[in-house]
Amino acid sequence: MVTYAKPVAAVTGALALAVTLTACGGSSAASDEKVVTVYSADGLKGEKGDGWYDKVFADFEKETGIKVKYVEGGSGEMVQRALREKSNTQADIIVTLPPFIQQAGSKGLLQKYTPKGADQVDGGDKAADGSWTSVVNNYFGFIHNKKELPEAPGTWEALLDGKYENKLQYSTPGVAGDGTAVLIKAMHDFGGQAPAMEYLKKLQANNVGPSSSTSKLAPKVDKGELLVANGDVQMNFAQAKSMPNLAIWFPAKEGGKPTTFALPYAAGLVDKAPHTENGKKLLDFMLSEGAQREVSAVGGGFPARKDIKATDANAIELARLIDGVEIFEPDWADIDENLTSYVDAWKSATGS
């Protein structure tokens, strides 16, 4: 049986605290205890128990007898929690989005481990030093209410229109993985920090305000409380199964092409993990051919392994979604090094 906290956030948000963890840290935990603790950004756990995590964790327990204890929150919050617990480690695995997985590595939270199957993961989707590997590929995106707003706005500039006043919201950069992605994409599309901040300052007139949770924005868009919000393809595609008014789109700069970038769920083994061997087994399992074949069919995401060619209905629809969208690769080393200054510039520009 998988135990988990009730989801309260998307790739962002307040930490779900309902999980009871073992009180002891890595040094005193029994090495043969049949448990593994996962700290994860949300999006892969289904609201109705029908997500990729639900299937993979249940299959893993059935095969190994190892129970998965699951703690869910924002990408940045997961890393911050692990940092606070560094002297008394609780997590065995961290799954989070860039740039927070790089941050976990640079802060010494991860130990080197190359899961079985990682040789089939593209070099850009795993750490050169072996400290983390993508387990589900994903892309940044936006959503709109296709009932109230049948056509997507199309461009960043269109979002400045007065009809979006208090009908637009994006999650908080520096806290939310997808919120941070808004900054990354804006800086790319507008050609640098200064023009991006100038634009986001203007956009603030329509922005409802900060949100630590990206996943909480989708229900608001579905109900028409918002017309537009940020998100990511995997999470929003999965949500759209129960939220029929959601549609995914990718903003372009006026006169340019729509763009996006990979925003994978990346997993690393925590340094001094209480159950290191169990953590290794779960990482191997998540990258196994069987689990990877279910990434699209069950989870609405893209397999991390390039040798897995998904052909299910979800995979076909997902491929159609990003067809014609220009995919760029952010300079993650620069973002990891300068994230604080970028977030500070955003706060200054928007008065947040």
Mean pLDDT, all residues of the chain? 90
pTM confidence score: 0.83
Report how far apart, in Å, the C-alpha atoms of 198 and of each of 169, 190, 208, 253, 347 are.
17, 10, 18, 14, 12
What pairs with residue 141 in β-bridges?
231
Supply 257's token pair.
């092409």
> Above pLDDT 90, what percent of the chain?
82
264-323 residue pLDDT tens:
999 999 999 999 999 999 999 999 999 999 999 999 999 999 999 999 999 999 999 999
Chain mean position to CA 270: 18
pLDDT band at 31 (very low <50, low <70, confident <90, very high): low
| 326, 78 contact by CB (below 8 A) | no
| 3, 69 contact by CB (below 8 A) | yes
Phi-psi label, residue 144: left if phi above 0, alpha if psi -120 to 50, beta otherwise: beta
| 12, 177 contact by CB (below 8 A) | yes
Phi-psi label, residue 70: left if phi above 0, alpha if psi -120 to 50, beta otherwise: beta
Beta strands in the chain (DSSP E): 3-4, 35-41, 67-73, 93-96, 110-111, 133-137, 140-145, 168-169, 228-232, 246-249, 259-260, 265-270, 302-303, 326-327
Cα–Cα distance, 131 to 156 (Å, whole number): 36
Other beta carbons within 10 Å of 290: 12
pLDDT of residue 22: 39
92-120 residue pLDDT tens:
999 999 999 999 999 999 999 999 999 99
Supply 103's token pair.
């941050």
pLDDT of residue 4: 42
160-207 residue pLDDT tens:
999 999 999 999 998 888 999 999 999 999 999 999 999 999 999 999
Report how far apart, in Å, the C-alpha atoms of 326 and of each of 26, 62, 151, 317, 334 are.
44, 41, 20, 17, 21
